[in-house]
Chains A and B, each alone.
Chain A
Amino acid sequence: MRRLPVYLLVDVSGSMHGEPIESVKNGLQLLVAALRKDPQALETAYLSVITFGSSAQQIVPLTELSAFNMPEISAGGCTVLGEALQLVCKCRENEVTKTTAEQKGDWRPMVFILTDGVPTDDPQPGIDKFRSMKWGASVSCAAGPGADKALLDKITPECVVELASADQSTLSAFFKWVTASIVSTSKSINESGTSTGSMDQLPPPPPEVQIV
């Protein structure tokens, strides 16, 4: 079975402390709960969470939804986005099955990046590495005015979205949209018959989530 790997990259720097990070946890919980109710997503989607603050960490390895346990997430420190990009590439190399003559590999991973600030490390090597691989539908999200949209556009030129602020209701709308995107991708994988046109399979975002 081809799995649909989904990597969530979440900024846990100091500025995310408080309401933003609590909202992220809440959003993640709702995301998993909603995906578990969808037989298609439950069958194919596998989820991993990578956080980046003072360091990048894969706090949940690629896990099937029925076995997913909510991780502890706390915010503090700086914003090593570049390191996080390196890490997601490494995780992908280790976790995502490549197709061989004897084995069906996984679908291209979807990546969602959520950040509210500017990277504190040099992101370029990470961006280069990330761009050298082929991903499924990938979205970066500028949560609030502090994020560097131009930089995010270099990571996922297909889609950058923007939230007016990183508050509870806005983040919850964002996670709902991520959920709907995973559901629709799990249902329509291969519909377009091409490997690139995957972005137009994502549902239109709610008003809180603006496409940049």
Chain B
Amino acid sequence: MAKNGDKVTVRSVSGKTYEYIWKDTPSSGAMKDVYFSPDKSYVVAFFKDPQDANAIDRLQNLVGTYRQGIFGGPGGDYWKKIYCWPTDIVREGNKVAIIVPAYHKEFFFTYGSKTLDIKSGEKEGKWFTNPWHRYCNLDAREVGDWHSYFDICLLLARGVRRMHMAGLAHSDLSYKNVLVDPVSHSAAIIDIDGLVVPGKYPLDVTGTPDFIAPEVYATMHLPKSDPNRKLPNGNTDLHALAVLIYMYLLCRHPLEGKKIWDVEDEQHDKTLAFGEKAVFIEDPTNKINRYNVDWVRNNQPKSRLPYMLPWMDLDKLPYTILGPYLKDLFDRAFIQGLHNPSMRPKAFEWEDGLIQTMDLMIPCQNPNCKQKWFVFDNSASNPKCPFCGTPYKIPLPVLNLYNKANTSYKPTGMRVMVYNGTRLYQWHANPRVARNEKLTGEQKKSLACFQFHQGKWYLRNERAKGMTDLQTKQSIPAGSIVELKDGVQIRLDDENSRMIYVQMVNK
């Protein structure tokens, strides 16, 4: 029998050797006991229960074909940041283990909390979705600002999109199975060994309560063999993804509202509220589940109210503060698609919506604002930060993007807000370039930046070759600047590139 600290060597099915340090009390979850390699670069995770042939086959597919498909191609390394993907399988007698890269170091707390002993603990997603945790229990240096969570959501959406592209479903996406770091704006999807692989029986999981899709909840009482029983799949992932994004951005649960369905039995109440009867708390046409501030006061512990209330005040921080793109996606996820899985937005749509929304974000002018960013609201005459109420006091150029269409230009519906620090990139100028993992180093360099000087806004061309003022027909060579005024039309790059139409608001 191994002793604490002993080095154990194991050989994988493919013939590679791995080492781990024995511990009498390893890190452990519901299903696995986890041991670290001597250099802590990977872990050996033993399943507590024996795995049958189907399970081993499924794992083999994951570490083999599917891993190769995602990581093997050009740019495959990109995904190493986003997934903690098992790399190999070990069999020891009747025990099966997987080799998994260790979580990256940014996913362990540096400061943790001023009151709790969680320094070096894992930055499990749950710490950041409950505002009491985020703004009371965690050290302020751990929580980033509002922009951090948009970036995190973008990475999660991207991670889910890539998985779905490969035909895989995660099946248990939740704040337990993602690690996030608001400080470095990173996120990673973990617990990949539970993925649903086409043609293989899925794992016996129903998921994590807050993220289980309504159709799964509603049929959970049926036996697994019943054809009406709904099991986790790509569409249930899309529900979980929408819930995750809503929770990271708004610190509240989209379905956890005021309506009580069963006064006698709390468990049954939740099963109905998240299943068969689920209603979006902000559904504009069905307000049955919507709560107000008084209800929140009555339903949250007093000591937590200062942290919960700003976020749970649905009148002050409605989901429309996320801007038109995300509002539209949430309507599809939580109204049209809530009980109609095929209507839910796909992961790539969340990606696009988040990217377009980030272009609408401007920095709050209050240096003490905790959120530091907000989404510009086109319909408000006096833009102000929804979190701290500080008005935005300087002129705000809005760049409307137009696509070249034969000899004229057509609106794309995309907009970019200009603040000190806004940059335009290839993916703004060139309709064939998308902001995703395929960007080359060259494409990641900005084309233009903006400066506010003595009350006026200027665009500075950094490297675009064919930038032109379309009204004066004058070229704007790299290195030169041009003032932004109402109505100015600038072609961003070559003949086929997009045009920006400048609109000055908040003058």
Closest to B294 in A: A102
- Pair A40/B126 contact, Cβ less than 8 Å: yes
**Scoring A residues 179 to 193 as 1 if CB is less than 8 Å from chain B, else 0, what string do you get?**
000001001111111
- Rounded to whole angstroms, the CA-CA distance of A102 and B114 in the bound complex is 35
A203 to B31, CA, bound (A): 10
Q: What is the size category of the interface that chain B forms with chain A? A: 35 or more
Asked whether any CB of chain B lies closer than 8 Å to the CB of A108, the reply is yes
Interface size on A, residues (CB 8 A): 34
Which of A36, A66, A193, A195 is B217 in contact with, Cβ under 8 Å? Answer: A193
Interface 1/0 per residue, A29-44 and B, CB below 8 Å: 0000100110110110
B475 at the interface (CB under 8 A from A): no
| CB contact between B298 and one of A43, A102, A189, A192 (< 8 Å): that residue | A102
Is the CB–CB distance between B267 and A193 below 8 Å?
yes
Find the B residue at minimum CB distance from A33. Answer: B117
Q: Which of A36, A104, A188, A203 has the most chain B CB within a 10 Å cutoff? A: A104
Contact A194 B266 (CB under 8 A): no
Q: Does B116 contact A (CB under 8 A)?
A: yes
Given contacts A102-B298, A103-B299, contact A39 B267 (CB under 8 A): no
Interface string of B106-128 (1 = CB under 8 A from A): 00000000011110010010110
Stretch from B129-137, B342-350, B427-435, B479-487 forming part of the interface with A: B129-137
Q: How far is the CA of A36 from the CA of B295 in the complex (A)?
A: 27
A39 touches B127 (CB 8 A): yes
Kindly report which residue of chain A lies nearest to residue B112, judged by CB atoms. Answer: A37
* Complex: chain A residue closest to B221, CB-CB: A193
Among candidates B133, B220, B266, B269, residue contacting A42 with C-beta atoms closer than 8 Å: B133
Q: For the complex formed, measure the closest distance between the CB of B279 and the CB atoms of chain A, giving whole angstroms.
A: 15
B268 touches which of A40, A102, A191, A193 (Cβ 8 Å): A193
Contacts of B299 in A (CB 8 A): 1, 103-104
Closest to A97 in B: B299
Asked if B356 CB lies within 8 Å of chain A CBs, one says: no
State which residues 247-277 of B face A: CB under 8 Å: 260, 263-271, 274
- A2→B30 CA distance, assembly (Å): 24
Which chain B residue lies CB-closest to A176? B25
- Which residues does chain A contribute within 8 Å of B115, judged by CB atoms? 66
Q: Which residue of B lies closest to A190 (CB)?
A: B270
Contacts of A40 in B (CB 8 A): 126
A102 CA / B130 CA spacing, docked (Å)? 22
Determine how close the nearest CB of chain B comes to the CB of A106; give it in whole angstroms.
Answer: 8
Complex CA–CA separation, A32 to B267 (angstroms): 25
B260 cross-chain contacts in A, Cβ below 8 A: 99-101, 104
Q: Contact check, A39 vs B263: say whether CB atoms are below 8 A apart.
A: no
Let me know if A194 and B267 touch, CB within 8 A: yes
- Apart from the given pairs A39-B124, A190-B271, 20 other A-B contacts in the complex at a CB distance below 8 Å: A2-B266, A36-B116, A36-B118, A37-B117, A42-B137, A43-B130, A99-B263, A99-B266, A100-B260, A103-B299, A104-B266, A187-B176, A189-B209, A193-B221, A193-B267, A193-B268, A194-B268, A195-B266, A195-B267, A203-B30
B residues with a Cβ closer than 8 A to A are 30, 115-118, 121, 124, 126-127, 130, 132-133, 137, 176, 206, 208-209, 217, 220-221, 260, 263-271, 274, 295, 298-301, 303
A–B Cβ pairs within 8 angstroms, 18 of them: A3-B301, A37-B121, A42-B116, A43-B130, A43-B132, A66-B115, A99-B260, A99-B269, A102-B295, A103-B299, A107-B266, A108-B266, A189-B209, A190-B270, A190-B271, A191-B206, A192-B267, A194-B268
Instruction: Name the 8 nearest CB pairs between A and B, nearest first.
Output: A39-B126, A190-B270, A193-B271, A195-B267, A193-B220, A39-B127, A195-B265, A190-B267
